[in-house]
Chains A and B, each alone.
Chain A
Amino acid sequence: MEFFQRFAIPHPSPAIYASMVAIALVSIAIVVGLTYFKKWGYLWHEWFTTVDHKKIGIMYLISALLMLFRGGADAIMMRAQLATPEAKLLDAQHYNEIFTTHGVVMILFMAMPFIFAFMNLIVPLQIGARDVAFPRLNALSFWLFFAGAMLFNISFVIGGSPDAGWTSYFPLAGNDFSTSVGTNYYMLAIQISGIGSLMTGINFCTTILKMRAPGMTLMKMPMFTWSAFIANIIVVFAFPVLTVALLMGTADRLFGANFFTTANGGMDMLWANFFWVWGHPEVYILILPAFGLYSEIISTFSGRNLYGYKSMVWSMVLISLLSFLVWTHHFFTMGQGALTNSIFSITTMAIAVPTGVKIFNWLFTMWKGKIRFTVPMLYSIGFIPLFTIGGVTGVMLAMSAADYQYHNTMFLVAHFHNTIIPGVVFAMLAGLTYYWPKFFGFILNEKIGKLTFWLLTVGFVLAFFPMYITGLDGQARRMYTYSEATGFGPLNMVSFVGAALMAIGFVTIVYNIYYSFKNSPRNIGSDPWDARSLEWATHTPVPEYNFARVPQISSSQTFWDSKKNGHALFKGEIEDIHMPNKSGVPFVMGIIFFIVGFSFVFALWVPAVIALIGVFVCMTLRSFEQDHGYHIHVKEIKETEAKYGEVLNSEDRPRTTTRV
């Protein structure tokens, strides 16, 4: 009996029991549905075993949207609990679990897969490649991410969610103060998906360095590819720190090590340092690709080339360097003294300079342009003022002496949501709308899209601007309740209203996908937005091999050159195309890693060891495997191309262009 005790939820509530039933029912429904419609084979052959970067990108996209709703549900519960003083909706324990999972889910299981989705979908197309450098590794990255995400998400029905904050500071996260298995889930789920992220980083650095089409020098790469490149370099340098920190944390919790405890020479501050040495670069891993997307979108809908391309690149390089030199600003109040604080205060403020350069470059890109107010452009326009506010409040927080007053308050919460929501989330939604036709063959409805944009923007302002004020009035973050006498009530109610508007906004996205799937016209051509970079030069939806012939690159907007200046993008005859084989191993390894993680969470050593052996068996088999891929033959390519209605063997491809 005692054995099963640990799988029970330590703090059950009707909502959790309801979710358990819902999860069980949905799982059964999915299994029955797949069997009834005989879709298992389709799922296995087309998705579970795929190594195609486009399909992996779509799977990342779906996961990110699912996790957005999971994290969003946490958020709306938090705001509801805080809407009125001394509310009884949630108790302290539930509130602590919810803000912890909200943070982890939104950063690691929503924002990360969202940017990986766009990297997967866009980067190979933008550089004229057939796939990424290591397609099977790419699939493994996805399945590890997915295993980590699922492991983290089952915590609230089996064993209990982590409750020490998304930063999981020790000693609070140690066994003495966090007795449930929640923090074990945190350590292992993030570890598993983090290994996936690290591999993605290596994969994309290699892809971008080695697989560019002929003529594409580094300074002729489209801006999104540049941003993805820099972000992945940061991934490669930052994630190992997280891996080591999580290992040490796991050792503390499971094997009685004392890295971060307060006894036996442990050092609690070491965790905070490790966490933010990874954590601060992490926010640039998220924001740089977002900047890349905005660059593409603003340039397209202004009808202009990107202003100051070189300074855009150099500012990103500078941001990536500085991102490793500012971690201490997350704990100016740790007592390291005036000198250390001064150094980190200056490095932090310095980041404002390259970021400011980017803002001005976007403004000058619109200058003398011909601005079309499409949905992706609306997000980009909304982003500029809102992100500027987020950025300048960041400079305020960087003033370390003043930070003693902002630290740990709602002011800080307002600041980082003010950068992440208009910065990352808006970029992802803009990118989603912008690239949707490329991969699904129809445009998302503009009217509903605009409604979504306004709901999110108004909701965002209402939800987060009041927090600047309550923060300065002394409302600490992570408090599950407050008394009426504090006077925080009315502004928190405004926040709740804003959060509710945002929730409606996110639901309209789902409705828009459904509505557009039913109603949108499918004859949109391959370039519906009159865009500029290479990914729009291939068909819609993109064929498996991306480009029938390898494109010849003239500039960072080579597709525009081919449309306007007569640049010949595709030359020569169609040849056989070499493609990577499918493999089920990454999916199987995802399952094995899930079992490893789950076994470690509950200290079930026998299954843990068996599953770990499974991991090594998979890796050994792979290293003895002869896999040379396969070829798509000319005849087959010509048939496929003919289906898209292309005139083959012609130097200049005709295009159907619908303007929006």
Chain B
Amino acid sequence: MKKKWAFLTSMMALVLLLSGCEPLLVLDPKGPQAERQASDIMLSIGIMAVIVVVVMAILAYVLIKYRASNQSDDYEPPHIEGNHIVEAICVGVPVLIVAYLSFVSVKSNYIVESAPVGYEDQEPLVVYASSSDWKWHFSYPEEGIETVNYLYIPTDRPLEFKLYSYGPITSFWIPQLGGQKYAMADMVTTLHLAADEPGEYMGRNANFSGKGFAENTFNVTAMSQADFDEWVEEVHETAEPITENEFEKLLEPGHLGQMTFTGTHLEFSPAPEHEHHAESDTEVDSESETHDHSQHEGHAEHTDHSSH
């Protein structure tokens, strides 16, 4: 048995060595949300490691002490039904651990689902991130810019991503800024992120979406607000406007490189945002409403009923 444990520990050491050259992406956070998640992860790894060590220690002790070859031939193991105190400890200690982790987990849930800590009083930058087979479209409605497969973001400003999909369910993920969230065709989900440091980050779709899934990635560049403003200006000077025709072509399944446009597709193909609210009828103009009807008849009908 000892050999096995020696082997296990050396394996873990080897694994850590192999990966040890650079910090793991998730454990190398560059924003408050990812930081919270990384600290939860490290906390739980610590507590769990203690549990594993305790179980292994008891097991090793029992196996060494009570192995048959260590006992006389006429040893008859006793009949033991159980012991209330021992069993209470076996229930009590895990309950305490789980209660503590639940407390942390609930707290973290509310933290990652609201504006990032330290950024609460700032106006967030809203970015609509939509996926299509197998690309990401980023629309900046305030700036009037749309990009494909790359994302420029300012540091030190909260980011609010509005996620939806033009196809299968995908999952928007920038590991170093924070965890993922699904993008789906019939509703919009919101992901709150922020970047503390300028830099290049990996972003991808993490949810399997068919043949082109592996390459369904995008680059994220975080820069100062001044640099970001400069980029916005530059785009407005150089890029072509996005048209409905052009956008339809972009949606066709396949891979594309990075692209930049002025204007956003939200103007002619809005996000499936207010589907379930009656007031959406008054908000959208007539042209996009017809479009809406053709795509989401069921929902639109439902909306009509509720408004009467």
Q: Which residues of A contact B (CB under 8 A)?
A: 92-93, 96, 163-165, 169, 171-172, 176-178, 258, 262-269, 272, 302-305, 307-311, 331, 333-335, 337-338, 341-342, 345-346, 349-350, 352-353, 356-357, 359-361, 363-364, 366-373, 381, 384-385, 388-389, 392-393, 395-396, 398-405, 407-409, 457-458, 461-462, 465-466, 469-470, 472-474, 476-482, 487, 490-491, 494
Contacts and interface: CB of A to CB of B under 8 A. Distances in A.
Given A307-B82, A357-B87, A474-B175, A172 B45 contact: no
Nearest to A403: B179
Given A267-B186, A474-B202, A342 B106 contact: yes
A368 B90 contact: no
Given A172-B167, A267-B186, A338-B106, 5 more contacts: A263-B297, A266-B298, A307-B81, A309-B82, A371-B67
B171 interface: yes
B90 A356 contact: yes
Contact of A381 (B22, B63, B79, B167): B63
Nearest to B51: A392
Contact of A479 (B87, B213, B298): B213
Residue among B45, B78, B82, B105 with the highest chain A CB neighbour number at 10 A: B105
Contacts of B106: 338, 342, 345-346
Interface string B54-66: 0110110011001
B175 A405 contact: yes
B79 A367 contact: no
B44 A396 contact: yes
30 contacts: A92-B213, A93-B211, A169-B208, A172-B208, A268-B184, A334-B181, A338-B106, A345-B105, A345-B106, A353-B91, A353-B95, A356-B94, A357-B91, A368-B80, A369-B62, A385-B56, A392-B52, A400-B109, A401-B37, A402-B44, A405-B178, A407-B171, A408-B180, A408-B206, A457-B4, A461-B11, A472-B25, A472-B27, A476-B205, A476-B206
A364 B63 contact: no
B133 to A, nearest CB: 8
Given A264-B297, A303-B77, A368-B66, A345 B109 contact: yes
Given A302-B77, A371-B68, A345 B189 contact: no
A289 to B, nearest CB: 22
B77 A304 contact: yes
Given A169-B168, A349-B105, A367-B62, A334 B182 contact: yes
B208 A165 contact: yes
Contacts of A384: 55, 59
Given A96-B210, A177-B168, A331 B59 contact: no
Contacts of A96: 208, 210-211
B180 A404 contact: yes
A480 B210 CA distance: 11
Contacts of A333: 171, 179-182
A448 B150 CA distance: 56
Which 4 A-B pairs rank lowest in CB-CB distance, beginning with the nearest?
A404-B179, A265-B298, A335-B189, A401-B108
B36 interface: yes
Interface stretch (B110-118, B151-159, B218-226, B234-242): B110-118
Determine the main DSSP class of A at the interface with B: helix
A350 B95 CA distance: 8
B292 to A, nearest CB: 12
A349 to B, nearest CB: 5
B102 A346 contact: yes
A356 B92 CA distance: 11
Contacts of B299: 265
Interface stretch (B12-20, B123-131, B258-266, B283-291): B12-20
B296 interface: yes
B295 to A, nearest CB: 7
Contact of B15 (A258, A341, A388, A491): A491
B24 to A, nearest CB: 4
Contacts of A345: 102, 105-106, 109
A388 B55 CA distance: 8
A265 B302 contact: yes
A93 B211 CA distance: 6
B66 A92 contact: no
Nearest to A482: B214
A99 to B, nearest CB: 9
Contacts of B202: 474
B8 interface: yes
Nearest to B50: A392
B207 interface: yes
B256 interface: no
A366 B37 CA distance: 39
A423 B102 CA distance: 25
A268 B185 CA distance: 8
A169 to B, nearest CB: 6
Contact of A171 (B56, B98, B169, B208): B169
Contacts of B110: 338, 342
Contacts of A171: 167-169, 185
A352 B80 contact: no
B232 interface: no
A575 to B, nearest CB: 34
B197 to A, nearest CB: 18
B51 to A, nearest CB: 6
Interface string B1-38: 10010011001100110110110111100000010111
A385 B80 contact: no
B24 A473 contact: yes
A268 B186 contact: yes
B51 A491 contact: no
B284 to A, nearest CB: 18
B137 interface: no
Contacts of A381: 1, 59, 63
Given A368-B66, A385-B56, A307 B102 contact: no
Contacts of A267: 186
B82 A335 contact: no
Contact of B44 (A264, A399, A477, A480): A399
A404 B29 CA distance: 14
B18 A392 contact: no
Contact of B67 (A92, A341, A373, A393): A373
A476 B38 CA distance: 17
Given A396-B41, A401-B36, A269 B184 contact: yes
Contacts of A334: 181-182, 184, 189
A309 B62 contact: no
Nearest to A100: B208
B211 A302 contact: no
Given A353-B94, A404-B178, A404-B180, A92 B108 contact: no
A308 B45 CA distance: 29
